[in-house]
Structure 1
């Protein structure tokens, strides 16, 4: 217990240090001791909403990945690899092309796209013999490829300026962060963490097997629908706000499990904090590595996540 409490304290302290450092670091140097009007604008109008949004996006993607891995009993289950992020991206693109004037269209269509992609992959991966890693990954690749093709076709409807902005956003972009986007993502991440934490005991039992969990009184069907729906809301909200930031839901839950074990009562909330730290750090690198130019944050997370994915696949 002492080790877990120490880990909790370390995570919270790391989150605070990461957030403060990310706000202070940037291509433009700002002194908190000699604050000018321009410095206040940079800190509070540009960096602060971006850093806070990045933290919420990281938390959302990490707990979505942790819950899907536990539900499907598959270490490779992750929103980006299963096509869920691409489903949300397609929904956002539809809103971007046809309903650009409606503020609610992006998150709503992103959620719809995410949940449709989730259930499509799940249905394709099922077989009489159950579900295995190869079938699940193959289903995710098929759905991702199909959705990517539709995205490419729809981008032909955009003019050059909008196409460049959407392409950069699709790779994961927090440069357009606003407080409204932060509030929306914060609400989704908070509610999602609470709901998924209430399902942690059921997920622990379902990791043994759905039949065994049913014998212990778990309503397997209800839990499955709850996890899929909440994960889709989290991914849809995150993608609508920041684009497709990949591999967060794969990397973070594994690192948390290596530290504290497989108990989802710890894995889910700790993944939320760890995901926030990971994305904020990645975004800090993305906007400072070649400053004053920026890299997509999704490129940084992919550089870390792809080698880990290969390692897990070989195991």
Structure 2
């Protein structure tokens, strides 16, 4: 119910407020033409159906995807501070998207940016694993440090791509660096929806294995889990989800860090409940973060990464404080 209310508020709120009954009328008329009497303008219908509704749906899917990836990474790394942003996966996805936008062009059509973003996210994941092995950084804390180091390296590469790109086009990559949902379109929603439709049931089926991984590699191995292969599989799935989400939203940090902790606080530590709760809470959180980003400086559209970064940074400090007590 809260998710449904959040979507309605997101569609209604903005520089041009639209009453909720008008929103319901437009949606009903789009689903079943002629069902209700049309008493709104074509411009208002375009705002609701072509701009705000796909944006709200994209916010929900991106929030859900980043949250469930954060929950998975926190399990397989046994680190409560792990998330796609801190481990460099988001940075890799953004670098791949920037490479496609400024240098390679859309040689595969609409699939180019998501595929390049996934390739960048996967490359970042492999780099993190390689650095941890090279530096013998087997502890969970050092894994996060390796992810931060890889993130800086990848962002330096992305900045070089921006520097070498067409100066007239480089302003567009600000979207990927700061995060935003302003480019949401109906034809784009199929990609994040398809990724969640394929990966989420698999992750839910692996909930018991994720519970075992939180206890330790030895315990998981005694239960018959191929620890190294399972961890690598989770990293690849996480890179796939993150890469596609970053391709359409840019870098949005801290969602994967915060939401799993809130989910555990509400439903307990079992991943059979943490994963679906993270999905739901992640969608709700990012929808409301987008509402704040659109209305705080209206009619200016603040990048959503600023909002999540501020909230996530404060949450991060609070989490460090609670862990030290």
TM-score (norm 1): 0.92
User: For each residue in 1:146-172, what CA deviation from the matched residue of structure 2 results, as whole angstroms up to 9, or x when unmatched?
Assistant: 111111111113334422221133211
Q: Which runs of 5+ in 1 are unaligned?
A: 1-12
Larger CA Rg, structure 1 vs 2? 2
Aligned position for 2:18: 30
Aligned position for 1:94: 99
Pairwise mapping of residues 124-135 of structure 1 onto structure 2 (< 5 A)?
124-126=131-133, 130-133=138-141, 135=142
CA–CA distance in 2 between the matches of 1:84 and 1:128? 20
CA–CA distance in 2 between the matches of 1:130 and 1:292? 48
Shift of 1:99: 2.7
- Which of the numbers 92, 95, 119 marks the counterpart of 1:112? 119
Aligned position for 1:7: none
Aligned position for 1:138: 145
User: For each residue in 1:275-297, what CA deviation from the matched residue of structure 2 results, as whole angstroms up to 9, or x when unmatched?
Assistant: 11111100111011111111000
Aligned position for 1:237: 244
- Which of the numbers 70, 75, 82 marks the counterpart of 2:87? 82
- Which of the numbers 26, 47, 50 marks the counterpart of 1:45? 50
The answer to whether the 8 A contact 1:54-1:279 is kept is yes
Q: Does 1:210 align with 2:225?
A: no
Range 103-112 or range 246-255, more displaced = 103-112
Shift of 1:222: 3.4
Aligned position for 1:5: none
- Which of the numbers 178, 181, 185 marks the counterpart of 1:174? 181
Pairwise mapping of residues 145-156 of structure 1 onto structure 2 (< 5 A)?
145-156=152-163
Q: Which runs of 5+ in 2 are unaligned?
A: 26-38
Q: Does 1:55 align with 2:60?
A: yes
Pairwise mapping of residues 157-306 of structure 1 onto structure 2 (< 5 A)?
157-306=164-313
CA–CA distance in 2 between the matches of 1:64 and 1:279? 15
CA–CA distance in 2 between the matches of 1:138 and 1:172? 23
The answer to whether the 8 A contact 1:125-1:131 is kept is no
CA–CA distance in 1 between the matches of 2:149 and 2:207? 30
The answer to whether the 8 A contact 1:60-1:192 is kept is no
CA–CA distance in 2 between the matches of 1:259 and 1:228? 26
SS class of match (1:174): coil
Shift of 1:62: 0.4
Distance 1:94 1:129, change over 3 A: closer
CA–CA distance in 2 between the matches of 1:187 and 1:60? 11
Supply the RMSD in Å over aligned alpha carbons.
1.6
The answer to whether the 8 A contact 2:98-2:176 is kept is no
User: For each residue in 1:248-300, what CA deviation from the matched residue of structure 2 results, as whole angstroms up to 9, or x when unmatched?
Assistant: 00010010011111111111111111111111100111011111111000110
